[in-house]
Structure 1
Amino acid sequence: MTVPGAVLRGALLLVGAVLVVTLGARHLAPLPDLVLVVVASAALRAGPRAGLLTGLAGGWLLDLLPPGSAVLGTQALLYAVCGFAVGLARRPGRVSLVWVVAVIAVAGCGLEAVRALLALAQGVPVDVGSSLGRVLATATVGLLLVPLFNVVERHAEHRRFA
């Protein structure tokens, strides 16, 4: 990963996290997980290590932005593991959009399952329909944004600075 690529991923994570928190405060549903889309894009493009680091950074952003996390670092750990797992699903060369959507949907299901377990452990009710809607919205947004992110990142990495 090059410096321009890392800066671009950081900016995308920041925009995604702020949008998720802002739109979530307005109780829009189903709200796609934009941070997961950026993490999955990085992991599918550059592998498990980049996915882990991008997931860790994105999770920290979600932990620190209000309302934050009940236990600091929970989201960072979840997104890091998710980024690593998505990176293991990386395929060399061109991949179909069906594969991208499937990987993002499975990652979203895993995140929602762990979040549901954490909520149940704290005695908070879980809305399964809302969770499934969030996974579907995330996969749909991933279908649209992951190819765009890959093109923009490829352009940023190959651009020569004079």
Structure 2
Amino acid sequence: MLLVGAVLAVTLGARHLAPLPDLVLVVVASAGLRSGWQAGLVTGLVGGWVLDLLPPGSTVLGTQALLYAVCGLLVGLARRPGRVSVVWVVAVVGAAAVGCEVVRSLVALASGVPVDPWGSVGRVVATATIALVVVPLVTSVERRAEQRRFA
């Protein structure tokens, strides 16, 4: 799912669609909310590596991996056992998207690259909105895979 999300994000980004939701973050948040901080951290690390390696990649290899690993860890700490409301999922994914955008903006400003604040707001809203649909889907796929593994 990480690979599909990353390839889809890179493909849609190459077509200059805006605002583009952070599909990898949604998958990382799904893993963190479903299985806790360890799964969120590992999923974020792998998802960030995939984004680092796919074109256009990042200027410094490993920066996306570190960013997504921290986001996965923090989202995993927000895990609640049992059924979770959609409002909680959207709030957690939205907060993770805000954190990612803040870090990306700070890195861009430090590099002398201009930052589009309205584009960042659009990405956060698009990511939180897409989480309404994608997080339940990813959770059900993970649940089925877990049941098959233990069956």
In which range does the TM-score fall when normalised by the shorter chain? over 0.9
TM-score (norm 1): 0.91
For residue 151 of structure 1, report the CA deviation from its aligned partner: 1.0
1:59 to 1:160, Cα distance in 2 relative to 1, 3 A: closer
Structure 2 unmatched ranges of 5 or more: none
Within a 5 Å distance, the mapping from 1:67-78 to structure 2 comes to: 67-78=56-67
Q: Distance in 2 between matches of 1:65 and 1:132?
A: 24
Q: Distance in 2 between matches of 1:57 and 1:107?
A: 17
Aligned to 2:140: 151
Q: Distance in 2 between matches of 1:119 and 1:154?
A: 38
Aligned to 1:110: 99
- Cα shift readout 1:92-114 (whole Å, capped 9, x = no counterpart): 11010000000000000000000
Aligned to 2:37: 48
TM-score (norm 2): 0.98
Aligned length: 151
C-alpha RMSD of the superposition? 1.2
- Cα shift readout 1:115-151 (whole Å, capped 9, x = no counterpart): 0000000000000000000000000111111011111
Runs of 4+ in structure 1 over 3 Å off: none
For residue 28 of structure 1, report the CA deviation from its aligned partner: 0.3
Helix, strand or coil for the counterpart of 1:70? Answer: coil
Structure 1 unmatched ranges of 5 or more: 1-11
Aligned to 2:72: 83
Alignment partner of 1:96 is 2:88: no
